[in-house]
Structure 1
Amino acid sequence: MVRADASDSIKVLLNATATHFGFRPTYRRVWLVKQKAIALIYGDWDESYNELPRWVLGVQLTMAGTVAVLRTSPVRVGGQLDESRAYFHRLFWTFPPCIEVFCHCKPLVSIDGTHLYGKYGGTLLVAIAQDGNSNILPVAFALVEGENAELWSFFLSHLREHVTPQSGLLVISDRHNGIKAALEASDGGWLPPSAYRAFCIRHVAANFALTFKGKDARRLLVNAAYAKTEVEFHYWFDILRSEDPAMCDWANWIEYSLWTQHCDEGRRFGHMTTNISECVKSILKGVRNLSVCSLVKATYGRLAELFVRKGREAEAQMGTGQQFSQHLVKCIEANLKTARCFTITVYDRDNSEFTVAETTSTGSFSLGSYRVSLASQTCDCGYFQAFHFPCPHALACCAYSRLTWEPYVHQVYRLSLVFSVYRMGFTPPIPEGFWPPYDGPTVIPDPNKRRAREGRPRSTRIQTNMDEADPNRPKRCGLCRQPGHTRRSCPQLGGAKHTRGHD
């Protein structure tokens, strides 16, 4: 089972053992056996760290231009420096196709971290881009010991230097203080106008839910964030205020340009969340369970498969004579099929400024009036400037003026550009026996990163409260969620706590 899918959970393996052998071992025993199985299939956990320096030399020989930055820390024995060994500290790596493709993707990058599940702890940091066909693409990785300002600075500095030197980029992330410090460093190259920052609304909503319970309140906040116009934003925000003014006070502490779509000046291209979860599920599934060198090797193989598959899809679409990505074509077709009626008024001789009165298909109900500027590619509905392709109102203006809508689509959606993303492929890796020799110190894992040898392994799932926490948030009862008391003294318990029976 581990060979087929290293991401199988301990619970799945435990139940399979009980089903096949009629014996139900402890959670800890299954966890230990899984680590041994991974070591047998993918190599010894400890020796895997010493393979990294040779892998760096081998992959750089395989693909010239590969960037791999390995950092180690000294080993001291009895106060003396052991020069023959060094602890693994951190590693940043990316490949030439990933560096090449980013200039053909949307001008934004999502960054996030996910914990490792193996014998030794650590965090995998990933930078994710997206092409014009809505395909996600990891472009850079780092293995670090955790998440803080220093480690994020290590990752982001190399990301900026080697992969994303373009100006005006948008960085989508959670509200982690380490990311904030790294992005706001004066010498990091991530300050406006070189780069801009936006928050993942999923993380913002999760932090919001820590203080304000209920799915309806969270839904109202998300709807306000997704609103494409100021009018629509205030509509949802006023409903949120009517529910509880404290909710709006909480949201107002965060600058609107960081979490709302109507204030992002079109930099998000409609993307409101980081794509780390989708990336891990579809591309990096199972790698977090592998030994460190096997994990790094897996990114090479998985990306090679991704480039081949998506390249073939783009090539097949180009063979049909299409000019734009499949994602854009579907969106345009949906906008063209909208069951509405438009009354259009032209306001200049160049056919670029219009007003569009929208009604239902029967004409019995007005849906509003919108100003459309084809010259500046804007519409009062906010759709045109948010997604960078024509909204239904702009399409109606093009049809009325007998203009084609293609010139008003951002070039990132052109199929030729999508195909360029996957034009540069990966080459087959050189066998390990032909890797150049490594004559440096033996790289070993830091024993302090070893998971506990006794007891059930501590959960390492990234909690949403890793983000900026509100120090003034009152503690609430775990039963009724009201402040001022604990579960043990909750009035709702009544006499229940005195009715507990004896074993």
Structure 2
Amino acid sequence: MPGTVAVLRTSPVRVSGQLDESRAYFHRLFWTFPPCIEAFRHCKLLVSIDGTHLYGKYGGTLLVAIAQDGNSNILHVAFALVEGENAESWSFFLSHLHEHVTPQPGLLVISDRHNGIKAALEAPNGGWLPPFAYWAFCIRHVAANFALIFKGKDARRLLVNAAYAKTEVEFHYWFDILRSEDPAMCDWANRIEYSLWTQHCDEGRRFGHITMNISECVNSILKGVRNLPVCSLVKATYGRLAELFVRKGREAEAQMETGQQFS
């Protein structure tokens, strides 16, 4: 497809200590398709990023960036095959995501608290620092870390309720209850900047996305392809997305023909 972006990185092959320039090992691959790049211009200024392990002979990790439009349609906008989740692989993915798909200023990235993501987003020249881009945590992952230290479903529920609160008053209502249960719980939560995990301090950037639930569609849309070789996996993402665009295009045309208007 004309306009497809594919960035391949290889590693050198050495035989008995000597460089074999006729061969190379596969190392990393980033790819995205023109309709994904175009579609993101009409989506919320937000991406959810996540990694999922590959099965089969070759292993590795599939990194994905997922967006959502105003009608809650979910779309994969970029992919990468890497050796695993680390600072270098996330930097490779995010740098090309920013360059080819999401150059818009003010973008919000939602993810877990993986150190590799943190290092890539906080790199001085990466293009992901405010005001060009912002970072927010998935509350499900924050709550899971919280529950490792503080046991009991009620404590976890209170933290999640505070995160979902849309106003400062509502947030302090739940936070005060949490403090009455155990002040140490609040001390733990206060070590994380509020803008990273609460909705009332997000300045509207989350669009109500408190978790990475839109990333969960990875397992359903890409079901059955995570044990394929590289070429077959890339072709599968093309086929699934082509089918999705055709179906959604027909739905939109049918809506327009009935007189519906879109902003």
TM-score under structure 2 length normalisation: 0.96
Among 27, 46, 70, the residue aligned to 1:132: 70
Q: CA deviation at 1:106?
A: 0.4
Q: CA deviation at 1:276?
A: 5.6
The percent identity for this pair of structures is 92
Separation in structure 2 between the aligned mates of residue 152 and residue 275 of structure 1, nearest angstrom: 20
SS at match of 1:217: helix
* 2:117 corresponding residue in structure 1: 179
* 1:204 corresponding residue in structure 2: 142
Q: CA deviation at 1:321?
A: 2.5
Whether contact under 8 Å (1:137, 1:279) holds in the other structure is: no
Post-superposition CA distance 1:70-100 (Å, at most 9, x none): 1100111111112222111000000100111
**Bigger Rg over Cα:** 1
Among 206, 217, 220, the residue aligned to 1:279: 217
Separation in structure 2 between the aligned mates of residue 281 and residue 125 of structure 1, nearest angstrom: 12
Q: CA deviation at 1:318?
A: 2.6
Post-superposition CA distance 1:376-432 (Å, at most 9, x none): xxxxxxxxxxxxxxxxxxxxxxxxxxxxxxxxxxxxxxxxxxxxxxxxxxxxxxxxx
Among 53, 60, 72, the residue aligned to 1:115: 53
Q: CA deviation at 1:290?
A: 1.7
Q: CA deviation at 1:64?
A: 1.3
SS at match of 1:289: coil
Q: CA deviation at 1:114?
A: 0.6
Separation in structure 1 between the aligned mates of residue 256 and residue 141 of structure 2, nearest angstrom: 38
Q: Show structure 2 runs of 5+ residues with no match.
A: none
Q: CA deviation at 1:150?
A: 1.0
Whether contact under 8 Å (2:66, 2:215) holds in the other structure is: no
Among 299, 315, 318, the residue aligned to 2:253: 315
Instruction: Return 245-254 or 272-281, whichever deviates more.
Output: 272-281
Residues 277 and 191 (structure 1), Cα distance of their counterparts in 2 relative to 1, 3 Å cut = closer
SS at match of 1:203: helix
Whether contact under 8 Å (1:152, 1:179) holds in the other structure is: yes
Q: CA deviation at 1:147?
A: 1.0
Post-superposition CA distance 1:45-77 (Å, at most 9, x none): xxxxxxxxxxxxxxxxxx111100011001111
Post-superposition CA distance 1:329-369 (Å, at most 9, x none): xxxxxxxxxxxxxxxxxxxxxxxxxxxxxxxxxxxxxxxxx
Question: How many residues are aligned here?
Answer: 262
Residues 276 and 104 (structure 1), Cα distance of their counterparts in 2 relative to 1, 3 Å cut = closer
Separation in structure 2 between the aligned mates of residue 264 and residue 161 of structure 1, nearest angstrom: 25
Q: Show structure 1 runs of 5+ residues with no match.
A: 1-62, 324-502
Whether contact under 8 Å (1:136, 1:275) holds in the other structure is: no
Whether contact under 8 Å (1:112, 1:276) holds in the other structure is: no
C-alpha RMSD of the superposition:
4.6
Separation in structure 1 between the aligned mates of residue 89 and residue 5 of structure 2, nearest angstrom: 18
Whether contact under 8 Å (1:65, 1:95) holds in the other structure is: yes
Whether contact under 8 Å (2:78, 2:97) holds in the other structure is: yes
Q: CA deviation at 1:291?
A: 2.0
Q: CA deviation at 1:213?
A: 1.7
Whether contact under 8 Å (1:138, 1:279) holds in the other structure is: no
Post-superposition CA distance 1:123-167 (Å, at most 9, x none): 100000101111110000000001111111110100000000101
Separation in structure 1 between the aligned mates of residue 204 and residue 2 of structure 2, nearest angstrom: 36
SS at match of 1:285: coil
* 1:261 corresponding residue in structure 2: 199
Q: CA deviation at 1:319?
A: 3.0
**Hey, which of these two has a bigger chunk of strand by percent?**
2
Separation in structure 1 between the aligned mates of residue 254 and residue 227 of structure 2, nearest angstrom: 35
SS at match of 1:288: coil
Separation in structure 1 between the aligned mates of residue 159 and residue 32 of structure 2, nearest angstrom: 37
* 1:473 corresponding residue in structure 2: none
Separation in structure 2 between the aligned mates of residue 281 and residue 148 of structure 1, nearest angstrom: 21
Whether contact under 8 Å (1:106, 1:129) holds in the other structure is: yes
Separation in structure 2 between the aligned mates of residue 277 and residue 197 of structure 1, nearest angstrom: 16
TM-score under structure 1 length normalisation: 0.51
Residues 222 and 256 (structure 1), Cα distance of their counterparts in 2 relative to 1, 3 Å cut = same
Whether contact under 8 Å (1:129, 1:139) holds in the other structure is: yes
Higher relative contact order (CA 8 A, sep 6+): 1
Whether contact under 8 Å (1:111, 1:276) holds in the other structure is: no
* 1:193 corresponding residue in structure 2: 131
Residues 282 and 313 (structure 1), Cα distance of their counterparts in 2 relative to 1, 3 Å cut = farther
Whether contact under 8 Å (1:92, 1:158) holds in the other structure is: yes
Whether contact under 8 Å (1:126, 1:276) holds in the other structure is: no
Q: CA deviation at 1:277?
A: 4.4
Whether contact under 8 Å (1:94, 1:141) holds in the other structure is: yes
Instruction: Return 118-127 or 308-317, whichever deviates more.
Output: 308-317
SS at match of 1:287: coil
SS at match of 2:81: strand
Whether contact under 8 Å (2:48, 2:111) holds in the other structure is: yes
SS at match of 2:41: helix
Whether contact under 8 Å (2:106, 2:130) holds in the other structure is: yes
Q: CA deviation at 1:279?
A: 1.9
Whether contact under 8 Å (2:105, 2:131) holds in the other structure is: yes
